[in-house]
Chains A and B, each alone.
Chain A
Amino acid sequence: MGQKPITFLRQVLALCSYPELLEDTKFPEDAKKRARRILEACGGHSIGAYSASQGIECIRQDVARYIEKRDGGISSNPDNIYLSTGASDAIVTMLKLLVCGEGRDRTGVMISIPQYPLYSAALADLGAVQINYYLDEDKCWGLDVAELKRSLSEARQHCNPRVLCIINPGNPTGQVQSRQCIEDVIRFAKEEHLFLMADEVYQDNVYAEGCEFHSFKKVLFEMGPEYSSTVEMASFHSTSKCYMGECGFRGGYMEIINMDPEVKAQLIKLVSVRLCPPVPGQALLDLVVNPPQPDEPSYATFMKERTAVLAALAEKAKITEQIFNTVPGITCNPVQGAMYTFPRITLPQKAIDKAEAEGQAPDMLYCMRLLEEEGICLVPGSGFGQREGTFHFRMTILPPTEKLKIVLQKISAFHLRFTQEFS
């Protein structure tokens, strides 16, 4: 959608790809230094060598240090860091380890509704039981422990719930959970003996006043040893989102907390079969967790670019919410974080009937029409899950601001036409 990559990151990647450039004076010293360090950690000093299956060691160390800095000093052991091919890879790997049992003993995995459909896809692929817990649209997609309890009790009747997945900041919903909420979830996981999976790939994408990203790891440890020594958890991060947007590189990591050492050995064995995550993605991740520092040549430009990207996203989050909320029949919760808006749309009964007669989800009918009439491609809410009888779509806030405004106008106009047509 036109977002520019961070110059420093791409300079280092170029240097790693073609080390002759280390002689080139147009590259800053701090970029060269990072490149040399990465290359030295690679077999034969080449990013073309396989790395260790868990990921290049010095990068895992850098990730651990990043986590410690982010979490106010709470220690992170590099041995608990696994680099991965995007966050998706690590999420699927963890779910793979967790799913077992037959019939009523089959592993159940709790996931929010709405959710990012990697989860439902992976659970379907693994034959696990998907346990839905509903986020509260009226409370800005907040998470209610009462709802977690309800869904868990119901699930216990037909499967063996063992895992709780949470996406924070949320996809598609964009909510940034409060610290209180995170504590409640951790407490719930402990009480109910659930493995926690915290998908935190949007951790830098926080826009709304009063909202802050609290990592599950940090909160867990601040709750004291009763929790921090017992709750089993995996946290996920990626190079695809935040201010980097480097989706194509497939960089990511997970941090494992309190995993049984015998299981850890199995995990290491499992990831070894696929040899290693892509090394360019690992290198990119290293730069994300080890960016230019205040005393380095690239710092000023880096901060400028990073700030500009995040500021633009924050602005677009606000515009999107504002404009959608002017449309009768569209209600848009604040886009507190992440990269999407998930507004609720009111569909006329006639449209719902037509869709159902055609065997189509009503919001799919709506989105297909929008695509055909305006060339705007959104994803219907049915693809993410929603309360029965409600309809939504997910739209990214990524197009450049001027284009976004046009898109928002067109959608608004479309909505009015559609409503008119089916009344």
Chain B
Amino acid sequence: MTENGVSPRAKVLTIDTMNPTVKKVEYAVRGPIVQRAVELERELSEGMKKPFAEVIKANIGDAHAMGQQPITFFRQVLALCSYPELLNDSTFPEDAKSRARRILQSCGGNSMGSYSASQGIDSVRQDVARYIERRDGGVPCDPDNIYLTTGASDGIVTMLKLLVCGEGETRTGVMISIPQYPLYSAALAELGAVQINYYLNEEKCWSLDISELQRALDEARRHCNPRALCIINPGNPTGQVQSRECIEDVIRFAAKERLFLMADEVYQDNVYADGCHFHSFKKVLFEMGPEYSNTVELASFHSTSKCYMGECGFRGGYMEIINMDSEVKAQLTKLVSVRLCPPVPGQALMDLVVNPPQPGEPSYDNFIKERTATLNVLAEKAKLTEQVLNTVQGISCNPVQGAMYSFPCITIPEKAIKEATDNGQQPDMFYCMKMLEETGICLVPGSGFGQRDGTYHFRMTILPPTDKLKILLKKVKEFHQKFTEQYS
């Protein structure tokens, strides 16, 4: 009450008067557990005593934050683009300068500070198209079908935006794997689309089963209009690298059931396990012949944030659109124009990713050395993680075939499940919160990604430096044993 007895007026914007779809959005990767981790970091830095000396953020696929070094060549070119006076500097190799000049020449006023075309700098899109052709054994790629984006997330959200329509029983349904990267569930919640879950098979190394896709689809058809099928390969959080046969099956399924395919391939260089290979959806689609390659509508996504680059902060990415209706394409071009253009430094970086040093160029040896070292270390850490976690009774870890995460299954004692549930908390959130408070290790509970009822998981990145990762794994093991004992 104010002095004159009048109640203070309610605000214009309150939890009750805000956009209801935003309230439905959740994003576990940066959710409550991470907020608590940040708080703990602050407390530590203020001198508060904790059972740990540092908070380890193994929650997010951020390689540089965990000490991975950037690729020298990329940063040299970016510096040259930022401050072209350096083109006169003899310490920069010629191939870096030549890339920088080419990029700058395609920028308005020869400056990275100009807006680019909304679809992205023309010469960069051409380079992306050539990269795709090389990667896919010559299957042609039209630069007009390439849209540069602000990270892959931007392209994914834009496509979902275009796809979602209808009301009630005709509302667009979008199929996504369980477990999934929660950008998808967040975007679908915000757009008011229907999320259609298809379960990956944990017993078969998180593989995809067509019969499960069929089951999910048939069930969904009763209450919505399924129109899109999203697949993340290599998988996040699960790390599986789908077989070629599986990819063909998915394409066949999409063709038969008339689904728009969205292939999230941001981890395409992160493949570690023997016998596993990355097969791009585009390539497989075209190798299946014109019956499929002329008809299946597909969008594939890539990014500068993962692989061996780890340049998350630059927000670079692209999508390739296949068989899109030309009227819709015009709408897409219009839609992206409203936000003017993706960040130009990210576009420049993408150009280098798709147009790296070639044999014979001065920077080639060093580039290959750095790239190989980074990918080898990741492969080593993937194996180490699987091994150590599988020595823990009550933790079961599928091979980390690719990507940057492990998603082990954890057994949580009944008593702990009950305590969690009594507190209105997911049991694996309860587990992860305890782990955070006791060890400083920040993971993301499986409930943030989706999992079969009655199962629990956590997602942990394999990104900390090897020595630190070993310590991390040891602490996770110790914590799990202690926790299990405490709640038995």
Contacts and interface: CB of A to CB of B under 8 A. Distances in A.
Interface string A68-97: 000000000000000001101100100011
Given A247-B113, A274-B154, A49 B82 contact: no
Interface majority SS (helix, strand, loop, mixed), chain B? loop
A49 B65 contact: yes
Contacts of B9: 193, 230
Contacts of A14: 79-80, 82-83, 86
Contacts of A17: 75, 78-79, 82, 345
Given A18-B78, A230-B9, A5 B150 contact: no
Interface in B280-329: 305, 309-315
Contacts of B342: 250
B306 to A, nearest CB: 11
Contact of B13 (A10, A98, A248): A98
A280 to B, nearest CB: 4
A162 B18 CA distance: 11
A100 interface: yes
Interface string B11-43: 111110111101101110111000000100000
How many interface residues does chain A have, given as a range?
A: 35 or more
Interface in A232-284: 232, 240, 244-250, 258-260, 262-263, 266, 269-270, 272-281
B114 interface: yes
B454 interface: no
Interface in A109-154: 118, 121-122, 125
B13 A263 contact: yes
Given A17-B82, A249-B344, A260-B11, A275 B65 contact: no
Contact of A249 (B18, B62, B112, B339): B112
Given A43-B64, A49-B64, A49-B65, A280 B83 contact: no
A51 interface: yes
B27 A272 contact: yes
Nearest to B339: A88
B346 A46 contact: no
Contacts of A273: 25, 27, 30, 153, 183, 186-187, 190
Nearest to A26: B89
B70 interface: yes
Contacts of A275: 30, 151, 153, 312, 315
Given A13-B83, A118-B338, A279 B22 contact: no
B113 A248 contact: yes
Interface string A1-41: 11101000011011101100100101000000000000000
B: interface residue count bin: 35 or more
Given A100-B17, A270-B25, A5 B111 contact: yes
Nearest to A250: B343
Nearest to B185: A273
B67 interface: yes
B224 interface: no
A413 B240 CA distance: 66
Nearest to B15: A262
A249 B68 CA distance: 24
A42 B313 contact: yes
A34 to B, nearest CB: 14
Given A14-B82, A21-B86, 12 more contacts: A14-B83, A48-B311, A48-B312, A85-B343, A96-B22, A232-B13, A248-B112, A248-B116, A259-B11, A262-B14, A273-B153, A278-B345
Interface of A: 1-3, 5, 10-11, 13-15, 17-18, 21, 24, 26, 42-44, 46-53, 85-86, 88-89, 92, 96-100, 118, 121-122, 125, 162-163, 193-195, 230, 232, 240, 244-250, 258-260, 262-263, 266, 269-270, 272-281
5 A-B pairs with the lowest CB-CB distances in the bound complex, closest first? A43-B65, A248-B344, A279-B313, A18-B79, A14-B83
5 contacts: A14-B82, A44-B64, A85-B339, A258-B11, A273-B30
